[in-house]
Amino acid sequence: MPHRTFFWFILPTALAMILFIGLPIVSSFFQSLHIENEQVLMEVENCDPFGCTTNVRVDVEATEKIEAENPLGRFNGFGTYTDRNHLAFDEIREAWDNKTSIGEFKDTVLNLPFYKALLFTLTFCFAVTPPVIVLGFIVALSVNTLAKKLKGFIVFGTILPMIVTPLIGSLVLFWMIDSQGIIGASIQILFDDPNLSLKASSNLTWITLIIYGIWHNTPFAFVVFYAALQTVPQDPLEAAFIDGASRFERVRFIVIPHLYPVATFIMLICLMDNFRVFEPIIGFSAEGVAQSLSWMIYQDLRNENKMLFGSAGATSMLTILGIAFLLTPVLIRTWKEFKTER
């Protein structure tokens, strides 16, 4: 296809992507270099019959004027990146100097907002992915053995958790697990502890969120494994059968090696998608004990008084760095695949 024709065909979609994906990233970066304007303070002298007092108050007019001139705020360089709510270099240095033990230092660091969120995000990613792959594989194997007539309905039932949006999915589970819901109440009766509830401890909340993550992500792994199972070659399976391999041995030595590349694909997609975990935290009302990087950005943008564009931008940039780190293997794989295709 000549360059000219190609250009006109690709123009609309390229324009959409550049304007609404490329530029926002640049805009986010730009915002992260700025910080909100300071309020202009002025001293006012209040005189009444008992004498004069001077108060400091916000000069609304002057503040608004600055705001109108500089809506983005003042330039702050990389200041926002290193402040307490982000990488917190000063706080970490201080904690390191004053530490009495490594454990204490670790606690201090993990209580800083950014590191707390990073810890949860990574824990979520790496706790959810392995069970998803194992469960997805088992479900795919067992659906594959079913009669054809049943398959349609069972596949539909299995993929439901993936189809609903994470917010609705987590709400539906939350309403059951909540201390007043069916599962929550039953557990309270079972352990005879009326105070046992999801919100009782942060560990329980984290576990619930991870269980939700597994519930939501397994269908995806199942579908991909299920399709891949159809491509397993029959000849080696037959040969192994003749040589007396048991069913388990056939799965272990023929099917699993054949599915390795598919499993890596699922793992990478899962890690990437779970790195943005955010809606379940809202669905489970778990903001108090579990914050993720995406949730931090949402919170900055939802700030009641003033949207903290600078802070949200800085967290966004750091999140993108994390994604880039996770994405590298996918890119390398795609690169190789494309090279061999040519």
Partner 1 sequence: MNQTINKYSKQIIIVNSIFILFWLTISIFPFIWTLWGSFKVKADFFSRADWTYALSGFNTLIETGATTTIKAYLESWTEGEFGRATMNTMIVTVSVVSISLFLGTLGAYALSRSTFKYTFYILIIALVFRAMPHITLVSGYLFPFFQLNIWGILPTTIIVLVAINQPFTLWLLYSFFKTVPKELDESALIDGCSYFQAFRYIIMPVMWPGVVTAGLFSMMLAYNDFTVTALLLNQHNYTMVPKINAYLGTVEYGGNYMWAVSSVVSATAPLFMIIWFFQRQLISGLTAGAVKG
Q: Using CB under 8 A, pick the residue from 24, 77, 130, 288 that binds partner 1.
A: 24
200 binds partner 1 (CB under 8 A): no
Size of the site for partner 1 (CB under 8 A): 106
Instruction: Compose the 73-112 pattern: x for residues touching partner 1 by CB under 8 A, - for all others.
Output: ----------------------------------------
Q: Using CB under 8 A, pick the residue from 101, 203, 231, 305 that binds partner 1.
A: 231
166 binds partner 1 (CB under 8 A): yes
CA dist., res. 191 & res. 185, Å (int): 10
Q: Using CB under 8 A, pick the residue from 40, 72, 122, 289 that binds partner 1.
A: 72
| Segment interacting with partner 1 (CB under 8 A) among 44-52, 83-91, 108-116, 175-183 | 175-183
160 binds partner 1 (CB under 8 A): yes
CA dist., res. 275 & res. 222, Å (int): 20
335 binds partner 1 (CB under 8 A): yes
136 binds partner 1 (CB under 8 A): no
Which residue number, 40 or 268, has a Cβ lying nearer to partner 1?
268
| Segment interacting with partner 1 (CB under 8 A) among 41-49, 55-63, 96-104, 163-171 | 163-171
